[in-house]
């Protein structure tokens, strides 16, 4: 895969041989989440008790290492396993996007994300799936068997977050597969301006949280990390996808 790095207005971008943006970092704030969809994926942190969760995280797709760096900096007890299929992406993340070198907390695997999930026996609290090729195709990472394997890899407080890129045919098929794999314990947040939509699914302990409590959690996360997810919660409320103003997974 051919990798390009570009910079504009203080932001460094990762490309896979096209103008399509695969990751970004504001040079003055390398730990922040520059792209809107990465911020949306961190809405998963609003769904469980922030005091100890998550402790074990699997990230499929490294990109510009935005999610990895954010969790590394703000969830100090979390151990991060990152699976990236292209070794050149790993090199780029280290050279251009400040991916930390910390073997104790970041276990970096160069390999196929689906094969890793299939062959692993580990359990994770949080699985983040953000893997696309240069044509913005997810391939096997958007199949029913893959989502079923993800559910098997989630522990008792497990949450899955998937970036459903605004594909030409929409994401209804993807969402149907996730719902089937998780027995309807799944929902998709309203699309952000970029066209991405983030799907969340849960395993183990049920999640039932009011939108008011989600807002409180978002305020606490903003105070702690600087990440503002209040607009995400507001869009969720406006979309009326949560019955009786409660998010249930």
Domain range for 162 is 36-248
Mean pLDDT over 160-173 rounds to 76
Q: Is residue 225 part of a domain?
A: yes
Looking at residue 17, its pLDDT comes to: 74
CATH number, position 141: 3.40.50.150
Residue 138 — very low, low, confident or very high, per pLDDT cuts 50/70/90? low
Q: C-alpha angle with apex 167: 163 to 173, nearest 5 degrees?
A: 80
Q: Is residue 3 part of a domain?
A: no
Q: Is residue 65 part of a domain?
A: yes
The set of catalytic residues is 130
Q: Is residue 24 part of a domain?
A: no
Q: Is residue 211 part of a domain?
A: yes
> For the chain, what is the domain count?
1
Mean pLDDT over 105-128 rounds to 96
Q: Is residue 222 part of a domain?
A: yes
Quickly count: other Cβ atoms within 10 Å of residue 166's Cβ: 14
Q: Is residue 22 part of a domain?
A: no
Looking at residue 193, its pLDDT comes to: 63
Looking at residue 238, its pLDDT comes to: 84
C-alpha to C-alpha distance for 195 and 164, rounded to whole angstroms: 9
Residue 161 — very low, low, confident or very high, per pLDDT cuts 50/70/90? very high
C-alpha to C-alpha distance for 153 and 206, rounded to whole angstroms: 17
Q: How many residues are given for the chain?
A: 249
Q: Is residue 30 part of a domain?
A: no
The owner of tokens 């899955």 is: 160
């Amino acid at each position: 895969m051919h990798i390009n790095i570009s910079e504009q207005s203080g932001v460094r971008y990762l490309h896979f041989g096209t103008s399509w943006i695969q990751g970004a970092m504001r040079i003055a704030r390398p730990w922040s989440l520059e792209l809107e969809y990465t911020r949306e994926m961190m809405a998963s942190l609003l769904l469980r008790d922030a005091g100890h969760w998550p402790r074990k995280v699997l990230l499929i797709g490294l990109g510009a290492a935005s999610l990895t760096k954010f969790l590394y900096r703000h969830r100090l007890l979390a151990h991060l396993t990152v699976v990236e299929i292209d070794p050149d992406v790993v090199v780029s993340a280290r050279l251009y996007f400040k991916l930390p070198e910390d073997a104790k907390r970041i276990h970096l695997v160069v390999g196929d994300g689906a094969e890793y999930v299939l062959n692993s026996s580990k359990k994770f609290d949080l699985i983040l799936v953000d893997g696309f090729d240069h044509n913005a195709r997810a391939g096997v990472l958007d199949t029913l068997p893959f989502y079923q394997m993800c559910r098997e890899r989630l522990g008792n407080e497990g949450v899955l977050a998937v970036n459903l890129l605004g594909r030409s045919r929409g994401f209804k098929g993807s969402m149907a597969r996730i719902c089937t794999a998780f027995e309807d314990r799944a929902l998709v947040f309203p699309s952000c301006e970029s066209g991405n939509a983030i799907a969340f699914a849960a395993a183990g302990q049920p999640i039932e949280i009011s939108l008011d409590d989600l807002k409180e959690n978002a305020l606490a996360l903003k105070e702690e990390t600087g990440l503002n997810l209040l607009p995400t919660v507001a869009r969720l409320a406006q979309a009326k996808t949560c019955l009786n103003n409660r998010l249930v997974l």
